[in-house]
Chain A
Amino acid sequence: DTAVSQTPKYLVTQMGNDKSIKCEQNLGHDTMYWYKQDSKKFLKIMFSYNNKELIINETVPNRFSPKSPDKAHLNLHINSLELGDSAVYFCASSHVLNRGRYGYTFGSGTRLTVV
């Protein structure tokens, strides 16, 4: 069983479209995250949710909106896609009791290409 699963793995879309990336974890973790990895491989946190509550909200355009229906799911919706949104988006999860011990568990990433 995949611990943190993201769908889709690849997403090609046109500028101006709206798209969503889904993430689910079956580890029983209480916190989930979205990270963006740009073309230079730099990873930067975007959002985190703890038990469905938004905890971290970095400087991200309002076109990006995370949604957490329950603590096992954290989806990322992107409106009005722009060329600069092309990147790999990683979902991750952790548990408050052991995130220092084990860091985060990452999904396999979604490569978003905006054309």
Chain B
Amino acid sequence: AQTVTQSQPEMSVQEAETVTLSCTYDTSESDYYLFWYKQPPSRQMILVIRQEAYKQQNATENRFSVNFQKAAKSFSLKISDSQLGDAAMYFCAYRSADDKIIFGKGTRLHILP
């Protein structure tokens, strides 16, 4: 069974600085999708960025980018120029072949003004 591990329960970053959230996963599948979701205090689950496993190029969405290392099964999220609105729980997620999205336990990100 696939697993997703986020080893940092909480992180803090100064406003305007860069922060990297770690995620590793375990799977025997060769084709899959990875996601980062953001959950602010409003509770809404918001898709931040996604990565297809067959693509070597790292995905980028404005200030958000990933470092996808398929061989190492690592999928970290980098947030550049951190803003107060980035404060939230961040979940790394893996979509399995049987269409389950499996979530990590989340990293709570604090932005320090």
Give 8 pairs: A residue, B residue, CB < 8 Å, sorted on A. Answer: A41-B106, A42-B105, A56-B98, A56-B99, A100-B95, A101-B33, A101-B50, A104-B101
Partner of B45, one of A55, A90, A101: A90
Write the chain B residue with the least CB distance to A41. Answer: B106
Give me the interface of B with A, judged by CB distance under 8 Å. 33, 35, 37, 39, 42-45, 47, 50, 52, 89, 91, 93, 95, 98-103, 105-106
Interface assignment of A88: CB less than 8 Å from any CB of chain B: yes
> Which bracket fits the contact residues of A?
20 to 34
Chain B binding surface, main DSSP class:
strand
Partner of B43, one of A55, A56, A99, A108: A108
Chain B residues with Cβ below 8 Å from A45 are 100-102
